[in-house]
Chains A and B, each alone.
Chain A
Amino acid sequence: MRSYVPAYELRAPQSLEAALELLEREPDVWRPLAGGTDLMVLFEAGKLTHRKFLSIWKLSELKGVEVTPEHVTLGALTTYTQVQAHAVLQREFPLLCQAARETGGIATQNRGTLAGNIVNGSPAADSPPALLVYDAQIELVSARGSRWVPYQGFHTGYKTMVLRPEEIIRRIRLPRTKQGWRQYYRKVGTRKAQAISKVCFAGSAQMQHNTIRDIRMALGSVAPIVLRCARTEAALRSQKVSAGAFAAAKEVLAQEITPIDDMRSTAAYRLRVAQNLLEEFLLQLQNNGGDESHRGLAAAES
């Protein structure tokens, strides 16, 4: 049943400081609301857990993209549209741009934010696999100060996270250390646009001739959280790309992910697709150790 609109409070503090003060004073009472692409869906369905919301949508302190020699730092409210339009992100973080392009339609991309995608905590979210592959760090801020945490480990279980009720995400920082890595992203859903993924795969590898020197892999919709597959990575690190290495890695992946049956797909289908996407990623590494132009495999600028 839809929510009774007059019962819901929404305030728009004029500064980040004012928003954090309110969160500090009444933690767990107020919940931040940014572009509304997730919370307003729950609102219409009568499934919101909170009654009081803080609109942070217009807070300039949470906007903008800053580029330094070491990092690209994105404000929490960076939208999918802004991600796609940013030249440095296009060049060095193509997986994030592709994830942004495949999230919803343009209307959703104009309103959906990276931090919103993170704190919504969906295991099917599109941008978190890319953020994990890029070793993102997240700045959490409260009235008492701020702290940086690695994104890996941020989600502690289904819809649970290390974010405290009085904190919000201020910035997301991507280290510029993956230039020259081979990159792969593929989202498998019911249709190309507007679909939520059945399985989503982001991978990146540093190749030396035919050997995987280093590798990152993260999958969506195969576990209670978007999962960095560290065990599968370990099975591939320092390996030559070969049929034997593929088979072994697919076995490890099958042990590492815990897909379920739900309204969008089945556990068996998700397992098969996850393994197939891993194979496609590895095959492209094999076929194109040094070829930057191979179709389907985006290459970061070296």
Chain B
Amino acid sequence: MPDRVNKAEITCTVNGETLSLKAYPMARLLDVLRQELRLTGTKEGCGEGECGACSVWIDGEIANSCLVPVLQVAGSEIKTIEGIATGEQLHAVQEAFISCGGAQCGICTPGMVMAAVNLLERTPHPSETEIRMGLAGNLCRCTGYMKIFEAVVRACQATGVKA
């Protein structure tokens, strides 16, 4: 068994709650979220930054949590899929995924929702191209993408999507 390094004490904010945890510094944020914090909404797909299933926000920016060593989020604010709804009230993007059939097996869905909500926060009136670009880092093997795309379009319809 190789030598073990010391665990680091890390303070960060997750879905609005500030917490301290002990973890090996190179542990992937993805594993800490799922195993230590039991926030299992964040999924692992490829584990190499290609598929976006593990997307979370770090200080407001979308990131692949499989590529982030947990030490790097010390002092940061993290949002996961569990922090998108307000209590029982789903986010408009989540509602639209349901009504448009934007989810099938569900593995890509949390990452897709995180990417879509992040896009709408940065660009409240995205063009269709901006929606496609905003979701380009998230792969889905079930839906053929169109239902996901339509869900995001529907979520912005209140304010109108540019051509």
Majority secondary structure of chain B interface residues (helix, strand, loop or mixed)? loop
Contact A9 B2 (CB under 8 A): no
Interface string of B1-42 (1 = CB under 8 A from A): 011110010000000000000001111100100000000000
Asked if A180 CB lies within 8 Å of chain B CBs, one says no
Asked if A213 CB lies within 8 Å of chain B CBs, one says no
Contact B26 A107 (CB under 8 A): no
Total A-B residue contacts, Cβ distance less than 8 Å: 103
Contact A44 B2 (CB under 8 A): no
Asked if A6 CB lies within 8 Å of chain B CBs, one says yes
| A10/B48 contact (C-beta < 8 A), A108-B64, A110-B62, A194-B137 known | no
Stretch at the interface among A32-40, A221-229, A253-261, A277-285: A32-40
Stretch at the interface among B68-76, B85-93, B98-106, B146-154: B68-76
Interface string of A45-68 (1 = CB under 8 A from B): 100000001010110000000000
Enumerate chain A residues within 8 angstroms of B28, measured Cβ to Cβ.
5, 40, 44
A81 to B61, CA, bound (A): 10
Asked if A43 CB lies within 8 Å of chain B CBs, one says yes
Enumerate chain A residues within 8 angstroms of B74, measured Cβ to Cβ.
12
| A105/B137 contact (C-beta < 8 A), A7-B2, A7-B3 known | yes
Q: List 28 A-B contacts (CB under 8 A).
A: A5-B26, A5-B28, A5-B31, A6-B2, A6-B5, A8-B25, A8-B26, A12-B71, A12-B72, A33-B69, A35-B67, A36-B68, A37-B49, A41-B48, A41-B49, A43-B26, A45-B48, A53-B69, A55-B72, A57-B72, A58-B75, A105-B138, A106-B62, A106-B136, A106-B137, A111-B64, A192-B136, A194-B136
Pairs of residues from A and B, 8 with the lowest C-beta to C-beta distance, nearest first: A105-B137, A193-B136, A10-B25, A6-B4, A40-B67, A8-B26, A7-B2, A110-B61
